[in-house]
Structure 1
Amino acid sequence: MMRDVLACVLGLPLLGLHLALTIAMAPVVRGLVDGCVVGLGGRGVPPVLMRWRWILALARRRGVRVAGTAATGLAAGATLAAALAACCLVPSFAFGLPGAGLSDLLLVTGLLGLARLGLVVTALGPGVARAGRAAVSAAMGLAMMQAVMPVVIAVVGLATGVTGIDGLLARMHDADVAGLQTPLVLAAMALLVAGLDEAWGGADAQAADMLANVTGPDRAALELARDLAVLAWMTLAGDMIWPGGLAMATGAMPPAPAALLAGVGAWLLRTAVLCAGLVAARLVILSLDRGLRTRLGLAMLFGVLAVVVLFAGREFG
């Protein structure tokens, strides 16, 4: 009992650091991706911190709610809370922190789905046609995510015997899981394609239509929730692709400072690599509106390949 209490007390500052870094990085990552896409398109490179400045400016502005949007503040708060809860459960630079027992793929993907659903509900509230059309398109992306997630969770459960994120990462550190890395990487790619709806081309225009009747702190909360969801998907996929970059708490003792610094560096490196891949995909392969069916097919392809590789490895291994 005392050992668990000590582990919680020592781990709480690290959990706070994880959450603070995640909140600080989320708009930066979105700004970096959008800036690279705009810059490579020959339209000049906007400042990476521009999105943070915009969110802060929205938060300081007095929002006037139009008729039919009385519940907008509640929906915005619930959406942000769901995104923050998901970020708390996805390890960034270390795992084994307080709350690790609640960290489960099904719970995290459910929270991220709720965050996206909150945007849809907010858009449908005023009953405006333009916002409604954008909400329907966003709901299609949510349905795509719900179709792919069972396949991913099944692959992870069959490969490692667990669906808890901390348990999965700890299992992937074992030598006997080395042969299962390929199906887990394919499952992570399926997560990225299906989950990162907010980061594909056309997402900002769609969000502008959905949230045209929301301003002030409510809009700031929703925009921050969008950014947090993007970073949560990228961090979760990065953890599955390169689990060795995370520091691990041992017993009641937190990771050593050197291991924590290495974990933060590995997280930033994983995120940067995934940002580069997302920029390439937006420029070359897919957009949000025209590529929805293609993305669904690609995500399902990664999921099915993960199942095939997993069972092929068990048959011939």
Structure 2
Amino acid sequence: MTHDLTWGWFFACLLALALQTGVLVLAAPWFSGWVNRLTGRLTGERRFPAGGRWQDSHHQFRRQGLRLRGDGLSGLACRGALILAVFAACMTPVFTLVPAGFPAPGFFLLCAALVGASLLLGLPLVVQGGTATLAGYTALLADALLLPALVPVLVMAGGQDFSVFLAHLRLLSPAGEGAPFVLMGVALFLVTAWKGRLAGEDLQGQLSGADRALWMLAADCVQLVWITLAGDVAWAGSLALPGDGGAEPWLAQCLAGGAFWVAKLSVAALLLAGTHLMVLTYQRRARVRLAAVFLLGLLAWQVAYAGQSGPQTGNKTASMQDEQESAWRDDGATP
């Protein structure tokens, strides 16, 4: 990423950033409906088509909502969750990175925004009370512990810009030096894979009207951003890099990156449909998810650290041997 950030590249990348955000937000309900459809095929149940999720959200948005206790705070939580989800979608590359010099956030900020959106999604269950209170507290606790479970993954990314981190991963082979980052991507995928259906998703009476539609859209966006993030980290070679060889090669790489993104989502949908068949309570599923994310992230960090420290240790040892040999030569040549 040695290309200078000119005004032309700045506006082109700004347009690509807006396009990627819009694609993620619009595709999120379709992806959730697609996963639900595949799950029904695996279980032999009749499910709505993939576009049924969008239709349900549109129908809920046009309905007159029922006013219950705590609806004011619940509405604010749904809107805040959607804002954080869209903010995270804006930071997640779909088919292209941003050039050097473009403002890019860190990986910690991206994960914090996603975790914050998940916490706000569980808040209406606690506020409104009733039978969903326990499920709401469980969801809040599981999501609050998610960021500590991601510490090994956050250490691997470090404090650099996320786009710079992915640009470095583009040069690594997934089967070679990039294998630890494939494990890192799998750990990120497990964040949503073993989450199953969100706590309270079947409790239609808890939210209604526009609040329910915003809740559904925010939940779908959070899921799709996690999966896209996992795919970017596991294989960053599909992302286009601005400034490599002009505008036309970059546009061709963007089209190829979009096609690879759809292929990644196809594989992720099959895996998610399979994990939805797991018969586990929400509490046990949350414990399994947190343990798997932490252990797999720790394994990825250890493998990456061993791969980075091994050659450096060998170089240090070789340099020390050269210094000792030169010292012996000097001593021998001294009269």
- TM-score range with shorter-chain normalisation? 0.7 to 0.9
Alignment-derived partner of residue 16 in structure 1: 18
Task: Please name the residue that 2:192 is paired with.
Answer: 196
The Cα shift of 1:92 comes to 0.5
How far did 1:251 drift?
7.6
| Matched residue, 2:214 | 221
2:184 is aligned with what amino acid?
Answer: A
Distance of 1:84 and 1:138 partners within structure 2: 21
Using the alignment, how far apart are the partners of 1:314 and 1:147 within structure 2?
24
Query: C-alpha distance in 2, partners of 1:251/1:99?
Result: 15
CA displacement at 1:109 relative to structure 2: 0.6
Choose the corresponding residue for 1:167, options 142, 147, 164: 164
Q: 2:268 aligns with which of 271, 274, 284?
A: 274
Count the aligned residue pairs: 307
CA contact (8 A) 2:184 2:234 kept: no
Larger CA Rg, structure 1 vs 2: 2
Conserved? CA contact 2:37–2:48, under 8 Å: yes
Q: Tell whether 2:223 aligns with 1:230.
A: yes
Q: What does residue 48 of structure 1 align with?
A: 50
Match of 1:185 among 154, 166, 182: 182
CA distance in 2, matches of 1:291, 1:100: 39
- TM-superposed CA distance for 1:230, in Å, is 0.4
Unpaired segments ≥5 residues, structure 1: none
Once the two structures are aligned, what percentage of the paired residues are identical?
29
- Contact kept in structure 2, 1:7 and 1:253, CA below 8 Å: no
Q: Aligned pair in 2 of structure 1 residues 67, 136: CA closer, same or farther (>3 Å)? A: closer
Contact 2:150-2:293 at 8 Å conserved across structures: no
* Preserved contact between residue 172 and residue 178 of structure 1 (Cα < 8 Å): no
Distance, in Å, in 1 between the alignment partners of 2:152 and 2:40 is: 34
**Following the alignment from structure 2 to structure 1, what is the Cα–Cα distance between the partners of residues 27 and 148?**
29
Q: 1:108 to 1:213 in 2, by over 3 A?
A: same
Cα offset, 1:268, TM superposition: 0.7
1:176–1:274 Cα change, 3 Å: closer
| Structure 2 CA distance for aligned equivalents of residues 166 and 117 of structure 1 | 26
Instruction: Quote the residue 1:207 is aligned against.
Output: 201
Please list every run of 5 or more consecutive structure 2 residues that lacks an aligned counterpart in the other structure.
Answer: 312-335
| Greater displacement, 107-116 / 40-49 | 40-49
- Residue pair 1:15, 1:97 contacting (<8 A) in 2 also: no
Q: Is residue 148 of structure 2 the alignment partner of residue 147 of structure 1?
A: yes
Instruction: Give deviations 1:243-263, integer Å, cap 9, x for gaps.
Output: 111112118965633222111
TM-score, normalised on structure 2?
0.83
TM-superposition CA deviations, 1:201-238 (whole Å, max 9, x none): 343x63233x6332111111111000000000000000
Which residue is equivalent to 2:331? none
State the 1:315 CA deviation. 4.7
RMSD: 2.7
Distance 2:261 2:86 in 1: 18
Deviation of the 1:311 alpha carbon? 2.9
* Per-residue deviation, 1:312: 2.8
Counterpart in 1 of 2:243? 250
Deviation of the 1:292 alpha carbon:
2.2
Contact preservation (8 Å) 1:31, 1:51 = yes
TM-score with structure 1 setting the length: 0.87
Question: How far 1:133 sits from its partner (Å)?
Answer: 1.2
Give the partner amino acid of 1:59. Answer: F
What SS does the aligned partner of 1:248 have?
coil
How far has the Cα of 1:82 moved from its partner?
Answer: 0.3
Cα displacement (A) at 1:151: 1.3
| Amino acid in the other structure paired with 2:46 | G
Work out the CA distance in 2 between the residues paired with 1:56 and 1:281.
28
C-alpha separation between the residues in 2 aligned to 1:87 and 1:32? 19
Measure, in 2, the Cα distance between the counterparts of 1:177 and 1:239: 12
Alignment of 1:112-127 (within 5 A): 112-126=114-128
CA contact (8 A) 1:91 1:239 kept: yes
2: distance between equivalents of 1:102 and 1:285?
A: 40
Provide the rounded CA distance (Å) in 2 between the counterparts of 1:3 and 1:110: 28
